[in-house]
Structures are given as structure tokens and as C-alpha cells.
Homo-oligomer: A and B are copies of this chain.
């Protein structure tokens, strides 16, 4: 993997990644001239016992893009710079212009609840230069590179004392609120371990303490023995609809052996994880012969300098559809109680996805 670190005119960082050497003459564009000097802040939610971040920005300059303008496409017209340059790169990562976390440290407003500057960092990950592609359509070697990029970003964040947890994710599709359709994801690096990973960490630690093995490791072994919900089973990685799915087409992708983060993946594991991931994405798009929306989140261990034998890197996909034409709305019981109600059985949904034939290159 080759990489090139650049600074944008507005001060944000850009890293280009490629499978081949990158021309060091490339310069970083930006649609914005000057720094935003944004300073999001956190407020304590005393009833839920969690922090909420507030980032109320207004875009600084008048911005009249041409009709076809794609801020994540490569810059072709210097009069309308985008977020990424033309050139021989495969994946690009840059600081989010409107971060929910990070930005400039400033004194937070005085409030009736505790508040503080929202430390952390938000990045955008452009998966490919090809605006018409999708993550699943990329060659396996390109997907492997992306897994390496997520590792490099996690590693960089892990060096920072102010960051506790790194979450790479992709929101895909208008159904989940995505307005830019160029293939891309985001990375949130949190100044604390957020509620869901904290809960998962607590459960994994308890299980590991009791059994001496990983909770996901043991679940994967049980799913493989049961067989009926598996979507991909390679020598190092698997994909399956979990028996406890909370979304109709929920799928998990993971290395078979517990690996605590992207940083620790071997190249064999990474290659097979790319195959598992591509298989799921092709099955999703093949199911109804149209782009399949989802939220894809990659869970890994907190970056606290400790060993985490209980943690097990994996992706969870939460698609918003429950049938071809019907969305699953999160409503009363899910949102208000955190208690999920499913009107489909994971076994049935797994069968639908199993029947979609896919060909890896």
C-alpha cells in the first residue's frame, strides 16, 4: 500500500492511498478557501447517562456549484475544485469539513448540564474515483486496500491520546438519508467509547471472563455448525444472517478467528474478509436487481493501548427494507425502548440471500 499525505487550502488533511506509487506532485484541492474554525461541543444527557454532540454550522461562503458538480469526484475544472484531486490513487481520506467531533478546541457554552469541547475526529473515505461504482462492484484487490486503509486510519487515531474509539461506517442509499451517491464512507473517532460499543465491550468482557473465549468467536462457530444462515464461509472469514438479527436483512461479516481491530488483520485474513464482504454486497444488489441501501458499521476494540482478547472485529449491516417494497421503520419499541421487534425470521431472510448467485472475480 502506498500513501501520500497532503494539506488542503483550507487546512484540512487529505491522504491518498493506492496499490501503486503515487505521483508526489499531486496537490490537494478543496471546495472551500478558508478554515471553518468549527468547534462542536458535547452536552451531558443526565437521564440516559451519555454525551450528545452539537455542531451547528453554517456554510461560510456563497457556493454555486454547476449542475453536475460532485464534491467527491476528482477535480476536473479548477474553477470548481472538489474534495479530491485527479491522479493515480485508489482510495482517499480527508477531514470532514463539517465535523460532529474535533475541530477547534474552544470553551463550550455554560449550560444547566455538563458540557465540554467535542474532541475526536471525523473523516470522509472516498472508496474509489469512479462515481458510478459501488463498494461491492470494486475488484477484490481494491476492497482489500480499503480494509488496509481502515487499518491505517485506526492506527493513526490510536496514536492520539484524545481518541478512545474508531468506527468506520457507510450509509448507503437515499432511504438512509444519503444525498451524495459517489461511493464513500465515514470514520468517526470518538473521545470516549460510545454507548453501543461500550455495551458490546461490557458483554464481551463478561463472556470472556466466564468462558475464556470470545462471544462472537463462539457464535460464529455455532452459526457454522448450524449452517442454515451462512452466506459465505471461507478459510479465514465468514458472512451470515445472525440468529439474533434485529433487521430483516441484517448480515454480519467477520474473520473466523478473533482479531481485535483492522490493525491486527493478517494479509490472508484481509484477503478472505474482502471476499466475504464482496459476496454480501453482490448478494444485496442482486436480491432485487437494484442498489440495496444499508448502514454498514465496523466494530473493533477501543484504542486504549490495552490488549482486547475479548474483542472481535466485524461488520454489521442494517438494511432499511423488510421486503422489496416496504421499509422497516424504527418506531415506538425500537427507538423509545431499545427493544427490537422483527416480523421476519432470520432463517427466511438468510434463505433469500443464499439464493442470490454471485461470482467473485
Q: Which residues of chain B have C-beta atoms less than 8 A from A359's C-beta?
A: none
Q: Is the CB of B177 within 8 A of A111?
A: no
What number of A residues sit within 8 Å (CB to CB) of B? Answer: 75
Q: Is the CB of A244 within 8 A of B44?
A: yes
Instruction: State the CA gap A50–B53 with chains docked (Å).
Output: 26
One of A129-137, A147-155, A266-274, A325-333 contacting the partner: A325-333
Given contacts A48-B200, A203-B48, contact A57 B226 (CB under 8 A): no
Q: Is the interface of A mostly helix, strand, loop or mixed?
A: mixed
Q: Which residues of chain B have C-beta atoms less than 8 A from A335's C-beta?
A: 295, 297, 318
Q: Which residues of chain B have C-beta atoms less than 8 A from A343's C-beta?
A: 55-57
Q: Which residues of chain B have C-beta atoms less than 8 A from A176's C-beta?
A: 329, 331
Instruction: State the CA gap A318–B338 with chains docked (Å).
Output: 14
Q: Is the CB of A43 within 8 A of B244?
A: yes
Q: Is the CB of A50 within 8 A of B331?
A: no
Q: Is the CB of B336 within 8 A of A203?
A: no
Instruction: State the CA gap A196–B54 with chains docked (Å).
Output: 22
Q: Which residues of chain B have C-beta atoms less than 8 A from A327's C-beta?
A: 177
* A168 and chain B: residue at smallest CB distance: B332
Within 8 Å of chain B (Cβ to Cβ): is A360? no
Q: Which residues of chain B have C-beta atoms less than 8 A from A167's C-beta?
A: 332-333, 336-337
* A331 and chain B: residue at smallest CB distance: B171
Within 8 Å of chain B (Cβ to Cβ): is A345? yes
Within 8 Å of chain B (Cβ to Cβ): is A2? no
Q: Which of A186, A190, A199, A226 has the most CB of B within 10 A?
A: A199
Instruction: State the CA gap A344–B53 with chains docked (Å).
Output: 10
Closest chain-B Cβ to A55's Cβ sits at a distance in Å of 6
Within 8 Å of chain B (Cβ to Cβ): is A20? no
- Within residues 215 to 269 of chain A, which ones have a CB less than 8 A from any CB in chain B? 215-216, 219, 222-223, 225-226, 243-246
Q: Is the CB of B55 within 8 A of A338?
A: no
Q: Is the CB of A46 within 8 A of B330?
A: no
* Given A55-B343, A167-B337, A297-B337, 9 more pairs with CB closer than 8 A: A43-B244, A47-B200, A47-B244, A48-B199, A52-B339, A54-B342, A112-B223, A113-B222, A190-B337
